[in-house]
Amino acid sequence: MKTSRRPAGAFLKRFVIPTVVLGVIVAVFFRDVSLDDIRAGFARIPFTYLLTFVLLWLLGSVLRAWQYSVLLSGKLAGRDIFLITLVRNFSVDLLPGRAAALGFYSWLTRKKGIALEEGASSFVIGAFYDSIALALMLAGLLFFLETGLSRWPLAAAMVVILILSALVILYSHRFLGWWLRGKKQGRLAGLQGAAGRVRDYLLEHRDNRQRLKLIAISLAIRLCKYVYNFILFEGVLHLGVSLKNFSLFCFGLAATELSALLPLQGPAGFGTWELAFALVFSALQVPAANIKEAGIVIHVTSQAWEYAVGLLALACLAFASTGKSGGASGPRGSGRSTGLGPSRCQ
């Protein structure tokens, strides 16, 4: 009975509930938005804006691949890590908490010869570098933010994010070492072995110059992402390009992206993302009557592009040779794929 319930429960959680959530959000919050309104939003974006969006998105993907290459000590060929990055990009919103992106990334790096613990650790540590970069970027933009909200809670939130992320990057290996010293072999032997390999990975990436390099790369990634999304935002609303509007947009988008942490979401984030976008930008008092349409257009445009490119990259990886990657080397790079799918890696 347990085996029959699990597929039913997974189908309910991953397909039925997200579809119901999307239907409720559309019926309650977006009933005043018509397809003509959405088409008009797309039509307002100049072609040059779309071209700039694509170019900056590609630059951000190259920088993201560089970040992962550094975190994996250059053990994968540039082509492989770039294609894996493209798959990671489209799968970010598939499941709450970036779970699908972690699963795909860990699975694909493992198929290329990277140990599961090393692949998963590089993804998670990269997320904390992103948090530091986001906090630094928003801290600089806080001086240009003009809104009725108090700045102090925003500044306090950025300080908390910065401190927590720095603690994870600087001291997580010590925490794992302390945890392993306090455990005895037994039922947790397998878990201890995995934790030990994660600790070894963290110990190998303690160089402060590398940390500064990763912060700089992550900051460039954040800037690319927020600039190309701002271009779509400006293309729909035409509020004017200025540091004031860019700052307002960045804080709004950062708050909107917190919807990815919600346990219940629409399919691939649709519905919940648009709802969060509308609520956040309305609270920030953005002078635009069609803020709901703007959120829909931005999300659909970015997702359509990322899914098209990401699925193409996944197809390239699936049909590529299964032989050992030319960039893999060393004991950690010689692990053999077990054929596990992304769901097993989560």
Tell me the pLDDT tens digit for each residue of 34-85: 889 899 999 999 999 999 999 999 999 999 999 999 999 999 999 999 999 9
* pLDDT (0 to 100) of residue 235: 94
CA separation for the pair 251, 145 (Å, rounded) = 9
Its pTM stands at 0.84
In contact, 137 and 226? CB cutoff 8 Å: yes
In contact, 246 and 141? CB cutoff 8 Å: yes
The residue with tokens 């250059």 is 74
Nearest to 76 by CA among 105, 125, 102, 109: 109
- The two tokens of residue 44 are 């307002």
Q: What b-and-e string marks burial along 189-225, b requiring 16 or more CB atoms within 10 Å of the CB?
A: eeebeebebbbbbbeebeeeeebeebbebbbbbbbbb
Q: What b-and-e string marks burial along 123-148, b requiring 16 or more CB atoms within 10 Å of the CB?
A: bbbbebbbbbbbbbbbeebeeebebe
Which residues of the chain have a pLDDT value below 50? 1-2, 322-346
Residue ranges of E strands in 177-328: none
Q: Which amino acid, one-letter code, is at 50?
A: L
* pLDDT (0 to 100) of residue 210: 95
**Exposed/middle/buried for residue 336 (C-beta within 10 Å: 0-12, 13-18, 19+):** exposed
* pLDDT (0 to 100) of residue 343: 41
* pLDDT (0 to 100) of residue 160: 95
In contact, 224 and 60? CB cutoff 8 Å: yes
In contact, 296 and 133? CB cutoff 8 Å: no
CA separation for the pair 53, 103 (Å, rounded) = 27
* pLDDT (0 to 100) of residue 241: 93
Dihedral sign computed on CA atoms, order 138, 144, 149, 152 = positive
The residue with tokens 């990671």 is 88
In contact, 249 and 144? CB cutoff 8 Å: no
Nearest to 237 by CA among 284, 299, 294: 294
* pLDDT (0 to 100) of residue 336: 40
* pLDDT (0 to 100) of residue 184: 58
Terminal alpha carbon distance of the chain:
24
Q: Nearest 5°: phi and psi at 265?
A: -140, 165
